[in-house]
Amino acid sequence: MRLDKTELALVGLAVVLMLAGTLAAPGWLIFLITVALAKALVVQGVVMQMKAGLVSFGQGLFYCVGGYAVGMGGQFLGLNAGLVLLALGVIAAVVLAMVLGLLLTRYREIFFAMLSLAFSMILYGVLVKSQELGSTDGFNVKAWTLLGRTIEGGEQATHTVFILTVLTAATVAFILHRFYRSAMGMTCEAIRENEVRVEFLGLSPRWINYANYVAAAAVSALGGGLTALATGHVDPDMAYWTTSGEFVFIALLGGTGSVFAPFLAAIVFALVRTYAIEFLPNAWQMILGFTLLGIVVFLPKGLWSLFTRRAVAPVPSSSPTNARTGGVRA
């Protein structure tokens, strides 16, 4: 298997992160990065759909499903193997997405955004009203095991979840990187550019969107499950629409330029938020709002474009043949 530059960087970064995290970093920072990476997986789900031109304002649905599957698996099914719990969340999300996708893939643009938001609010409404699941308070995740070892609280647990999250995130990013360059991944971008033309080429945008939606749900559920394991708690706010809004925010902050972008953006977001809440508790949303406006206006391709701008700039402006045939987008 030949690895390209991004993939090598991915492997290297994961190794460095795990070493630095377990050996040197303070506990609170490890925890912050763990949760940020887990949330970044949900953001990867948002980005997957953004690449196909769809903005999901309801990705919190699968985040919540993944999290609650981990919590409920321990509570009601007596499962305690961490990997099984994560898998349970992914399966639940995939099944749910396969049903909802049938309806959602008929919609585009704001209708898609609103309908996905409505679905996640339905789950929120159900969870808030279910007493046995702790209503608005949610409930705690039971003690779990990883490959036979029981994960107790304290530093050992923090480190274990951290390594599990880094490994999962790196694996998912690796697969996504390959997916984006596969025929289907490329078609997703083509759908964003012009759906009708894709249809005329004999492909079905609807089914490609469907597959993409289901895959995005699986990735997001993984993020939700890891968050539940890391924080040890789940509550209905995971499905509230502002949570989904946060994921859209992080997706735009990073941009869709690279699989690294959501991770970078999620960590920047978590750090900024931690300090902003510390120093300006009543103004941090306002800071986020202005940042979002700034990104939309000045950095429409996200933070990641700061790194790639130089590579894109030298494309000759005077190449009419290339332009007329559509060319290859960098």
List interacting residues with another protein (CB under 8 A): 55, 57, 103, 106-107, 109-111, 113-115, 117-119, 121-122, 124-126, 128-130, 194-197, 241-242, 245, 248-249, 252, 282-286, 288-290, 292-293, 296
Report the residue number, 49 or 160, with the smaller CB distance to another protein: 49
Task: Between 242 and 322, name the residue whose CB sits nearer to another protein.
Answer: 242
- Residue 34 C-beta: closest distance to another protein, Å: 25
**Closer Cβ to another protein, 132 or 310, answer by number:** 132
Q: Which two tokens stand for residue 164?
A: 């599990």
CB of 210 to another protein, least distance (A): 16
Coil, helix or strand at residue 153: coil
If the CB atoms of residues 7 and 237 are measured against another protein, the closer one turns out to be 237
Compute the least distance from the CB of residue 312 to another protein, in Å. 21
Between 282 and 318, name the residue whose CB sits nearer to another protein: 282
Closest distance to another protein from the beta carbon of 202 (Å): 16
Closest CB to another protein among 174 and 210?
Answer: 210
CB count within 10 Å of CB 253 equals 24
Are β-strands 144-146 and 233-234 bridged in parallel, bridged antiparallel, or unpaired? unpaired
Residues with Cβ within 8 Å of residue 47, at least 6 apart in sequence: 251, 254, 256, 261, 262
* 37 vs 47 by CB, closer to another protein: 47
Token pair for 249 = 């925010």
Minimum distance from residue 141 beta carbon to another protein (Å): 24
Residue with tokens 């990641």: 304
CB of 285 to another protein, least distance (A): 4
Q: What is the CA radius of gyration of the chain?
A: 20
Give the DSSP H/E element, type plus range, for residue 235: none
Q: CB 193 → another protein: shortest distance, Å?
A: 12
Burial class (CB in 10 A: 0-12, 13-18, 19+), 29: middle
Decide whether 147 or 196 has the Cβ nearer to another protein.
196
Task: Give the three-class secondary structure for 77.
Answer: coil
Q: How far is the CB of 196 from another protein (least distance, A)?
A: 5
Only one residue has tokens 């679905």, namely 119
Residue position matching structure tokens 């694996």: 171
Compute φ and ψ for 144, nearest 5 degrees.
Answer: -135, 170
Confirm if 85 and 74 have CB atoms less than 8 A apart: yes
Residue 314 C-beta-side C-alpha neighbours within 13 Å: 3
Given the DSSP bridges, would you call strands 233-234 and 139-140 parallel, antiparallel or unpaired? antiparallel
Tokens of 269: 């977001």
Q: How far is the CB of 286 from another protein (least distance, A)?
A: 4
Residue whose CB is less far from another protein, 9 or 287: 287
Residues 6 or more apart whose Cβ sits within 8 Å of residue 39 = 63, 223, 227, 246, 247, 250, 266, 270
